[in-house]
């Protein structure tokens, strides 16, 4: 047996002993949570079997989690509960007296058609169900993006560049409005690649980069803070809930 | 049947979704709500396909003793334990003890820790990339630092940093974000049009 293998067995023995001791002292669930947290943190050293274990467990469990959620939160109240309410009255009593809606047979049929993808000969028929999803999503997105990402954003950008308040001219607000208006225009110029970034157009694009860099910096800062707060949460779990060092 | 029916379906359904927004009739709103419900329900069937695919890949790996096949057993174990706890008749719904505790003591720790790992990687990346080598890089560094420091208690400086961070978020950050969002909106609308009129049809696959 080589040294590497021996070391991995020693580590495994330590993990198993620590796991058993922790269960005895702190209980099963907290121990499982703590060890899975440590397994994931072990990736900071390098990819290893403990990390892979937690990663694969997560893939399987989360797939089943979303399936269960989809079944109980969508299929039961929205499909079975509307097709034939008495069928799900035991799970969702509020639906018991609702009238049956035969139209809900359509998504059931389309859903079954989608499952035909598993068949090598009749797989093409699943395209009908897929086409339905793609069509509704495309139509929905067309209106949604037109309204919220295009018209609304332009609407919020077109404002007065000369701001006054009760005491007269408001220099700070005016500068801010000018920066917002100019920043949006220059940002859009930067993303417009159909014309070469030269002359006045190029100057606009270069100003656009400045505003974009500030935004990227701010987004970076935000991301770091969000991840740090998650890290703090995990540390509180390990040192508080598990080890009891934080009261 | 293989291509024309789905293309026609996409056109009709997407056209309806657009029309119902511009024509505020009760009957259209009623149909619109049905279509939304149907899409969500069909989406759950797609989840079933995903579960089948996961089972198929994992079982295949175990059967063929492929590299790291042992971990596929872990995947399937997680899948079945969670499915059984979520679906056993009599447990009724998602408020059962096993399902809830599997969520809080297995899924939440793994997911939160995975995301928190990024704090280390992002710090390491910042150490290498955040150099004030040019004006643009300095701006990035400055904005990032101000946003990160805004919650740090630093005595009288805290107020100044918090005000500056607020201004950065409200003014230059918002300007660039709006430009990006308008660009995304235009791109999304163009894609939706292409799908609607059958120019983009990659969702149909080959043959």
How confident is the model over B163-203, as pLDDT tens digits?
A: 999 999 999 999 999 999 999 999 999 999 999 999 988 88
Cα distances (angstroms) measured from residue A203 to each of A208, A215, B145, B169: 9, 19, 27, 24
Band the pLDDT of B124: cuts 50, 70, 90: confident
Give A16 to chain B, closest Cα distance, Å.
17
Question: Measured between beta carbons, which residues in chain A are less than 8 angstroms from residue B49?
Answer: 114-115, 117-118
What is d(CA B142, CA B159) in angstroms, rounded to the nearest whole number? 17
Residues 117-146 of A with CB under 8 A from B: 117-118, 124, 127-143, 145-146
Give A45 to chain B, closest Cα distance, Å.
11
As for the ipTM of the complex, it is 0.86
- Mutate: best of B178, B181, B183, partner A, most A CBs <10 A: B178
A142 contacts B14? CB cut-off 8 A: yes
- Lookup result for tokens 């018209």: A151
| pLDDT of amino acid A26 | 80
pLDDT, mean of residues A139-162: 92
Contact partners, residue A201, CB within 8 Å, separation at least 6: A189, A195
| pLDDT of amino acid A114 | 93
| Mean pLDDT of the residues in chain A | 91
| pLDDT of amino acid B204 | 84
Band the pLDDT of B75: cuts 50, 70, 90: very high
Band the pLDDT of B89: cuts 50, 70, 90: low
A215 contacts B93? CB cut-off 8 A: no
Cα distances (angstroms) measured from residue A171 to each of A12, A52, A129, A168, A207: 67, 58, 58, 9, 22
Chain B nearest-CA residue for A39: B110
Band the pLDDT of B91: cuts 50, 70, 90: low
3-state helix, strand, coil in chain A (%, to 5): 80, 0, 20
pLDDT, mean of residues A114-119: 91
Phi, psi of B154 (to 5 degrees): -135, 35
pLDDT at B93 over 80: no
Residues 148-187 of A with CB under 8 A from B: 148-150, 153-154, 156-157, 176, 179-187
What is d(CA A187, CA B181) in angstroms, rounded to the nearest whole number? 11
Question: Measured between beta carbons, which residues in chain B are less than 8 angstroms from residue A34?
Answer: 109
B175 contacts A63? CB cut-off 8 A: no
More confident residue, A35 or A91: A35
What is d(CA B109, CA A20) in angstroms, rounded to the nearest whole number? 19
Task: Say if residue A122 is exposed, middle or buried (CB neighbours under 10 Å; 0-12, 13-18, 19+).
Answer: exposed
pTM comes to 0.86
Q: B7-16, B52-61, B88-97 — which is least confidently predicted?
A: B88-97
pLDDT at A43 over 90: yes
Domain spans of chain A, in order of start? 101-157, 159-242
Question: Measured between beta carbons, which residues in chain A are less than 8 angstroms from residue B174?
Answer: 180, 183
């Amino acid at each position: 047996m080589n040294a590497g293998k021996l070391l991995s067995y020693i580590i495994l023995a330590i993990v198993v002993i620590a796991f058993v001791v922790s269960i005895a002292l702190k209980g099963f669930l907290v121990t499982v949570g703590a060890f899975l947290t440590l397994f994931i943190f072990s990736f900071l050293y390098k990819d290893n079997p403990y990390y892979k274990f937690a990663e694969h467990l997560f893939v399987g469990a989360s797939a089943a989690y979303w399936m269960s959620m989809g079944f109980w939160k969508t299929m039961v109240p929205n499909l079975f509960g509307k097709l034939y309410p008495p069928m799900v009255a035991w799970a969702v009593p509020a639906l018991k007296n609702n009238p049956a809606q035969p139209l809900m047979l359509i998504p059931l049929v389309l859903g079954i058609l989608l499952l035909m993808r598993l068949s090598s000969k009749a797989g093409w028929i699943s395209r009908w169900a897929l086409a339905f999803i793609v069509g509704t999503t495309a139509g929905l997105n067309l209106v949604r993006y037109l309204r919220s990402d295009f018209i609304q954003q332009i609407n919020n950008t077109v404002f007065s560049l000369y701001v006054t308040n009760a005491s007269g001219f408001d220099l700070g607000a005016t500068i801010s409005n000018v920066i917002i208006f100019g920043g949006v225009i220059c940002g859009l110029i930067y993303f417009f690649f159909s014309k070469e970034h030269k002359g006045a157009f190029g100057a606009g694009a270069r100003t656009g980069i400045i505003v974009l860099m500030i935004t990227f910096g701010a987004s970076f800062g935000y991301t770091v803070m969000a991840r740090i707060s998650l890290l703090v949460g995990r540390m509180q779990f390990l040192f508080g809930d598990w080890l009891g060092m934080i009261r | 049947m293989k291509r024309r029916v789905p293309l026609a379906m996409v056109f009709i359904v997407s056209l309806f979704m657009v029309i119902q927004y511009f024509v505020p009739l009760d009957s259209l709103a009623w149909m619109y709500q049905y279509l939304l419900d149907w899409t969500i329900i069909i989406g759950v069937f797609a989840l079933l396909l995903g579960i089948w695919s996961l089972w198929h890949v994992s079982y295949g790996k175990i059967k063929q003793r492929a590299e790291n096949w042992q971990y596929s057993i872990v995947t399937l174990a997680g899948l079945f334990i969670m499915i059984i706890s979520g679906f056993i008749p009599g447990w009724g719904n998602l408020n059962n003890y096993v399902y809830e505790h599997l969520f809080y003591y297995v899924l939440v720790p793994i997911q939160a820790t995975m995301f928190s790992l990024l704090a280390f990687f992002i710090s390491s990346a910042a150490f290498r990339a955040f150099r004030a080598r040019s004006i643009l890089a300095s701006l990035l560094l400055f904005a990032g630092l101000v946003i990160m420091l805004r919650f740090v208690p630093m005595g009288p400086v805290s107020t100044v940093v918090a005000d500056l961070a607020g201004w950065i978020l409200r003014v230059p950050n918002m300007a660039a974000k709006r430009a990006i969002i308008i660009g995304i909106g235009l791109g999304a609308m163009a894609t939706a049009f292409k799908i609607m009129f059958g120019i983009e049809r990659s969702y149909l696959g080959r043959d």
